[in-house]
Structure 1
């Protein structure tokens, strides 16, 4: 592995201010280049700057509340020690028991108003999550979010964030899981993750409305790979 950058340090978020700075990184990273997946989580319900600001504020409140309510949630961030700016982040979940003992969750998207946009978002989210609920019915860590500010890419920040999660997995001697975009997949493979299934989204709908077709055009993500890392990163060669 490449050495950790000397001018950056990894911290675990504990405060609302830290989480707000993390959300600023996620917004910046997913709009340069634009990633359709981001609109599923962070809809801008309007066309004016104030609408975007309202969406950012809502996402910050939502993610902070979700983090506080979820004991498995661990948010790490990288700070530039020279500028004191947060420049990268990752959310790793630590599950010491089967999180799906009561069956797979039915994921909801209440940040969208009722209607077909929300229905479309929930369809995608549940398709993303299905392989995880089928294969990770055991203790594990899971990567949910990874983002690096566009101005700080290719500086080893993603590697630092990966090390934080892998260190947790190794310390508890558990497997690791994630759903990876094409852009992130090479980094994850360097850290011992392998693709177990490609998730190709099915959004066909009989008698689809104009709104549904617009969702497919603007919000349907490219396929992602469900990726797995064995305990200690040791793959069975037999």
Structure 2
């Protein structure tokens, strides 16, 4: 028996809040360690957890981007992720927008099926010299800490022999005009 799913625009705070609640479940089953980087819980208590969820609800309601998403574990593998990605990529194409998306190991193949290419894997090394026992315990709980940055050009078509990303276009134009394009470099201290 097949199910039918319908997408609709989120227009109320209650709908937005329920999506954030779902995201917190989706990103923790299975556990995705990079979630902690952007959604930290500042303490061990249930009140700390609730404060983090409330902060996310405020951020989601006041944003103007397709900020976050997730699929409840019991609805995975039923075509809903594909439905959402089809809608999102169609909207981006209609608006003439390219796409950037961060992906966990779990979501990466879905994004690739919708025209995204992985540009890089970001791994964050949290090891430090003379770390306390508590630091090492938390590091062990966190596990591997990485995610992928993915890109999709307007229309989802990568053309062979042409620059594949916005910064490659800038570099090509710079070479043609004999100027130099510099990109900022970020380093993380220990």
Question: Partner residue of 2:17?
Answer: 20
Question: Partner residue of 2:68?
Answer: 145
Offset of residue 221 of structure 1: 4.0
Aligned mates of 2:85, 2:153 — CA distance in 1: 15
Question: Partner residue of 1:111?
Answer: none
Aligned mates of 1:68, 1:20 — CA distance in 2: 8
Offset of residue 44 of structure 1: 7.7
8 Å contact from structure 2 (residues 16, 60) kept in 1: no
- Tell me, yes or no, if structure 1 residue 157 matches structure 2 residue 98: no
Offset of residue 151 of structure 1: 1.0
8 Å contact from structure 1 (residues 180, 227) kept in 2: yes
TM-score (norm 2): 0.72
**Gapped regions of structure 1 (runs ≥ 5):** 74-91, 93-143
8 Å contact from structure 2 (residues 16, 61) kept in 1: no
Aligned mates of 1:19, 1:69 — CA distance in 2: 10
Aligned mates of 2:75, 2:109 — CA distance in 1: 18
Question: Partner residue of 2:58?
Answer: 65
Question: Partner residue of 2:108?
Answer: 185
Bigger share in strand: 1
Change (3 A) 1:32 1:66: closer
Query: Which of 78, 83, 95 in structure 2 is aligned with 1:172?
Result: 95
Q: Which has the higher contact order (CA 8 A, sep 6+)?
A: 1
Aligned mates of 1:221, 1:229 — CA distance in 2: 26
Question: Partner residue of 1:198?
Answer: 121
Offset of residue 225 of structure 1: 1.5
**Gapped regions of structure 2 (runs ≥ 5):** 162-190
Aligned mates of 1:229, 1:206 — CA distance in 2: 39
Change (3 A) 1:57 1:212: closer
Aligned mates of 1:33, 1:6 — CA distance in 2: 24
Highest CA radius of gyration, 1 or 2?
A: 2
Question: Partner residue of 1:43?
Answer: 41
Aligned mates of 2:55, 2:112 — CA distance in 1: 31
Change (3 A) 1:67 1:220: same
8 Å contact from structure 2 (residues 119, 151) kept in 1: yes
Question: Partner residue of 2:5?
Answer: 8
8 Å contact from structure 1 (residues 20, 60) kept in 2: no
TM-score (norm 1): 0.59
